[in-house]
Amino acid sequence: MIKVRKRKILLLPGDGIGPEVINEVKKIINWFNDNKSLDFGIDEALVGGCSYDKHGTPITDEVFYKALESEVIMLGAVGGPKWDNIEFSKKPERALLKLRKELKLFANLRPAICFEQLVDASTLKPEIVSGLDIMIVRELTGGIYFGEPRGIKPIDNGERKGINTHTYTTSEITRVARIAFDLAKKRSNKVTSCEKSNVMEAGQLWKEEVQELHDKEYKDVELSHMLADNCAMQLLRNPKQFDVIVTDNLFGDMLSDQASMLTGSLGLLPSASLGAKNKDGEMRAMYEPIHGSAPDIAGKEIANPIASILSFAMALRYSLDLDNEADNLEKAVQGVLNDGLRTKDILSEGMKETSTSAMGDAIISKLQ
Ligand code: IPM
Ligand code: MG
């Protein structure tokens, strides 16, 4: 097994607005190196559509090995309409899915926090979202994203059949549920587990295994089960009933996009994808904004870098054991929002429209 090199940060800016937002993260990492005498080593590589354009593959072996030996990966975003019609196995998204799967990053943490300064940016009423603080724990290396058999094949009547398979094993369920219970203990001590146990056997297994782990090891945490469609509805009706939500790969993908809009903008939400710790306590991890590559606004200097910057705060906290620095970075973000600085996606009346790089600069000046 390739050793993780401590404090090595690999930047994978990717496509669309990825390079713009990751550039702001790079400025912040450099600031920590210069001002806090931290010794983060930075490397940068192509991944996604830009890698396909240059090398004919969304991720080269060389870049994959770089990722394998980095303690922290900061990913921007991959994909865009430019690559819509290329062969499935070469699509930009395959790089992201390969990294998640082969680095075994099974737990995807997606916090949805509504900043007080932005309650009006949400499409929901302020009283519904004010004070919102949810953590979605999405299983990231199993389920229908990776199950076999898969593919598109011709069938007898001349039609074609598209096939994907949804599978989960006991250990795949319990390892991610354990992360959710441990997180809940540091928060409001409540876990809601979501599946479709009313129609899917794999959902029934999910529910049973989460309950069993709870009864064995986490009796002190409040656990409830909810059907995923009901959860989608409850997230809009009364989102503050939730503390930690744990769910599978596909439901987690959808519910986290939905939860993000409670906070006002997809441009604000970070995420962390974590693997298991080895016997030396080392862990692989990839951090990325939950927004996509937004090709329509790429290159215009209007993308919101906050989700990426908050993703780096998660890296400071979860991978680099620098809780104080993480707190300071999060406070700096709050500070610029208090000053009324807004990128276009969260602009409201009376606020000051700010470009991507000016937002990064303002956050750095708050760090000083
Ligand atoms: C996400 C994205 C990805 C996913 C895509 C880009 C493959 O939507 O991280 O939520 O579906 O997981
Ligand atoms: Mg998604």
Q: Does residue 87 surpass a pLDDT of 70? A: yes
Contacts of 341 (CB under 8 A, 6+ apart): 351, 352, 354, 358, 359, 362
Q: Does residue 266 surpass a pLDDT of 90? A: no
Q: Does residue 260 surpass a pLDDT of 80? A: yes
Strand, coil or helix: what is 161?
A: strand
Q: Is 253 a catalytic residue?
A: yes
Q: Which of 26, 91, 196, 207 is catalytic?
A: 196
- If you average pLDDT over residues 114-127, what whole number do you get? 89
Give me the percent of the chain exceeding a pLDDT of 90: 88
Residue 2 has a pLDDT of 67
* CA–CA gap between residue 89 and residue 86 (Å, rounded): 8
Mutate which of 93, 98, 260, 291 for ligand 1 pocket (most atoms within 8 A of beta carbon): 93
Domain 126-133+142-263 -> CATH class:
alpha beta
Residue 1 has a pLDDT of 58
- CATH fold of 1-106+275-368: Isopropylmalate Dehydrogenase (3.40.718)
Nearest ligand to the CA of 77 is: 1
Q: Residue 284 CA to chain centroid, in angstroms?
A: 14
Average pLDDT, the chain: 95
Alpha carbon of 341 to ligand 2 centroid (Å): 27
* 154 pLDDT tier (thresholds 50, 70, 90): very high
- If you average pLDDT over residues 156-170, what whole number do you get? 97
Residue 249 has a pLDDT of 98
Domain map (residue ranges) of the chain: 1-106+275-368, 126-133+142-263
Chain segment 183-217, per-residue pLDDT in tens: 999 999 999 999 999 999 999 999 999 999 999 99
Nearest ligand to the CA of 258 is: 2
Residue 246 has a pLDDT of 98
Residue 6 has a pLDDT of 72
Alpha carbons within 13 A on the beta-carbon side of 81: 5
**Ligand 1 pocket, residues with Cβ under 6 angstroms:** 79, 93, 96, 253, 290
Nearest ligand to the CA of 250 is: 1
The residue that leads in pLDDT, 193 or 117, is 193
Chain segment 308-336, per-residue pLDDT in tens: 999 999 999 999 999 999 999 999 999 99
* CA–CA gap between residue 129 and residue 116 (Å, rounded): 9
Residue 309 has a pLDDT of 98
Alpha carbon of 254 to ligand 1 centroid (Å): 9
Residue 79 has a pLDDT of 97
* Closest atom, ligand 1, to C-alpha of 253: 10
Distances (CA, A) of 60 to 54, 70, 114, 185, 363: 10, 16, 38, 40, 34
* CA–CA gap between residue 139 and residue 137 (Å, rounded): 7
- If you average pLDDT over residues 91-108, what whole number do you get? 97
Alpha carbon of 257 to ligand 2 centroid (Å): 6
Contacts of 258 (CB under 8 A, 6+ apart): 232, 235, 236
Q: Does residue 4 surpass a pLDDT of 80? A: no
- If you average pLDDT over residues 158-181, what whole number do you get? 98
Contacts of 356 (CB under 8 A, 6+ apart): 17, 20, 21, 23, 24, 301, 302, 303, 304, 305, 343
Q: Does residue 3 surpass a pLDDT of 90? A: no
Q: Are 99 and 286 a contacting pair, CB within 8 Å?
A: yes
- If you average pLDDT over residues 34-45, what whole number do you get? 92
Residue 228 has a pLDDT of 98
Q: Does residue 279 surpass a pLDDT of 90? A: no
Mutate which of 17, 83, 96, 260 for ligand 1 pocket (most atoms within 8 A of beta carbon): 96
